[in-house]
Amino acid sequence: MKRRIGILTSGGDCPGLNAAIRGVARASYELFDAEFVGIADGYKGLIEGDYREMSRSEFSGILTLGGTILGTSRQPYRNMRVIEDDNVDKVEAMKANYKKMGLDCLVTLGGNGTHKTANLLSEEGLNVIGLPKTIDNDIWGTDVTFGFHTAVDIATDVVDRIHTTANSHGRIMVIELMGNKAGWLTLYAGIAGGADIVLLPEIPYRLETVIASIERRIEHHRSFTIIAIAEGAYDKSWADKKRKERAQLLKEGNFPSVSYYLADQIQKETGLETRVVVPGHYQRGGSPSPYDRVLSTQFGVYAAHLIAEENYGQTVAMKGGQVSHNSLKAVAGKTKFVPVDHQMVQCGRDIGISFGE
Ligand code: F6P
């Protein structure tokens, strides 16, 4: 049985992508007569016809390699059916290149946007298999995405290290972690790193509550406070504003991001020395953690079985500790937000973490 498989990585990169690519390839070579076509830079390569035959040897030595050997890009789903200045019909171009490559199926590794386009291609008749990738862990239908736990490890190390300098200076340290829509990374790293205040996009915070938490710590002779805030978190007084409006307000105030705005308010209200730390893309760099190497390999192997069974239009998922799958249709367009009453949030409350409510 022969299968000719196109593979692409799309959206923000993260550790584990190459481990997942390796998992798909090595299992496919074991299961059937596999040929791989590497598509460059995500959907951009599929649109432009930028692809190449891959040899079996290219999948060796990449288990621990961060980033993606294929390259990636962001091709917003909302533009997929828009004819822009280049006058290219992106969907027709992708279908034509899929056919030109002679593919039996296309494997896409990506986040929410990637899944929406993967589903679009599936509905257009292509055989597509998705793998859920993002440090945000905000893909619906799966307990976890690869890249997430490595980012938790990195972000937790930042919180740990900031503890010592905060303690030495008796400062308020505002640490801004990635997560524009969902706060999973900030929630996990905040708890793991022992943050005192954790601010998530899902729970708009009240400044007065944040300040009261700081003052309560001072009353208990704790001279410093660690605040872990997701980049998408915002003040409750802005709850009626759209994300773009909130970004514009920050820009007008000359604040690069929410953490600088919050730090400025804290310093003005309390007079306490307040500093900001934004590890940014550092949270997406380097080698995958052993946990993510295993998860990525499991997901890749499962994808190879879906291909062997010709069970297309699916995306791999972890459900209750078992690797499984969901239909692309079920996943596309959904985001897995942190529920306000989630057990992890309640766990944080129970140990005295303030979520700024
Ligand atoms: O989706 C993953 C992510 O790292 C988000 O957490 C972050 O907001 C975004 O990507 C950054 O996007 P870019 O890498 O395009 O700057």
Report the predicted TM-score, pTM, of the whole model to 2 decimal places: 0.97
Closest ligand 1 atom, residue 185 Cα: 6
Q: Which fold has domain 150-283?
A: Rossmann fold (3.40.50)
Indicate whether residue 335 lines ligand 1 (CB < 6 A): no
What is the average pLDDT score of the chain?
Answer: 98
pLDDT band at 190 (very low <50, low <70, confident <90, very high): very high
- Residue pLDDT, tens place only, 55-71: 999 999 999 999 999 99
Indicate whether residue 176 lines ligand 1 (CB < 6 A): no
Active site positions, annotated = 136
Give the CA count within 13 Å in the CB-facing half-sphere of 88.
Answer: 14
Q: Does 2-147+288-331 match 150-283 in CATH topology?
A: yes
Mean pLDDT computed over 3-31: 98
Please give the pLDDT value at position 6.
Answer: 99
- Residue pLDDT, tens place only, 248-291: 999 999 999 999 999 999 999 999 999 999 999 999 999 999 99
Domain at 2-147+288-331, CATH class: alpha beta
Q: Parse the chain into domains and list their residue ranges.
A: 2-147+288-331, 150-283
Indicate whether residue 178 lines ligand 1 (CB < 6 A): yes
- Ligand 1 centroid–CA 339 distance in Å is 21
Which are the contacts of 336, defined by CB distance < 8 A and separation ≥ 6? 137, 138, 139, 140, 141, 142, 182, 184
Indicate whether residue 318 lines ligand 1 (CB < 6 A): no
